[in-house]
Every structure is written in structure tokens, then in C-alpha cells.
Amino acid sequence: MEVLQERAEEPGFPEVLLVHLGSADEADAFFSKRWPEARAVSDPNQDLYRFFGLRNGSLSQLFAPRVLYAGWQALRRGHGVGKPVGNPMRMSGWFLVQDQEVTWSHRHEHAGVAPRWGELEAILND
């Protein structure tokens, strides 16, 4: 999230709206420590997740060796695993919405993947 926070402060970067599965209170507790200025929407019923085609991950998307390796790498960089909130099986995604149209999307192939910022950069620079 640090990368996104840094990028969001750059001139010309699109407005960021984070959608999460927790309650508003859980989000307040989380974001107040990490990104107090973040705009976030609670989606405990997973309506937006379904709208954007984000599904529950398979066992291999959640626990394959590549996912465990990515988790180990994150731990080495000081990122811990927090308490699961909402549906921990639901896969994540990133979407650029412009003029009510999704112009870029990145649905995670597995739980250990990061957004492809280079693809987003190319679209923003067109």
C-alpha cells in the first residue's frame, strides 16, 4: 500500500478509492495508522467485488509455493500478516475507472502478486 500512497500524491495520478471487506470501524482503525487521508468504502457484502469479477481464490491461488514464497518475501521486508477481515478467500484487484468506464484492470492471479504499475503508467501517459 505504501507504493500506492506515494503514487497517489503525485500530480496527475488519478484519485484513489480503496474498497475493502471490513466494516467502517475496522477501516478507520486500519487506515488511521497507515494512510489517514485514504478514501475507502466498506463492502462487507462483496457487491463491488462481484461487480468487478473478483472471486474467491482456489487453493493454488491462495497457498501454492509461489504464494508462500511471496509471503515470506513480504515478511522479510517487514510486512506482517494481520487479522483476516471479511472474506479472506476473496481475490484482490485494481481498477482504473475513467468517465464511468473501466480503462485498466488487474485481477490478481494469486494472493502473492502485486499490481502491474507499468501497465497503469502506460495508460496514464497516453
Please check whether residue 52 is in contact with residue 94, taking contact to mean a CB–CB distance below 8 angstroms.
Answer: no
Write out the residue range of the structural domain in which residue 47 sits.
2-125
> In tens digits, what is the pLDDT along the chain, a chain of 126 residues?
777 888 888 888 888 999 999 999 999 999 999 999 999 999 999 999 999 999 999 999 999 999 999 999 989 998 877 788 889 999 999 898 988 999 888 899 999 887 777 777 777 776
Give the CATH number of the domain where residue 118 resides. 3.40.30.10
**53, 75, 76, 97, 116 from 94: Cα distances, Å:** 11, 22, 24, 10, 9
**Cell digits of residue 46:** 462483496
Number of domains in the chain: 1
What's the pLDDT at 2? Answer: 78
Please check whether residue 23 is in contact with residue 107, taking contact to mean a CB–CB distance below 8 angstroms.
Answer: no
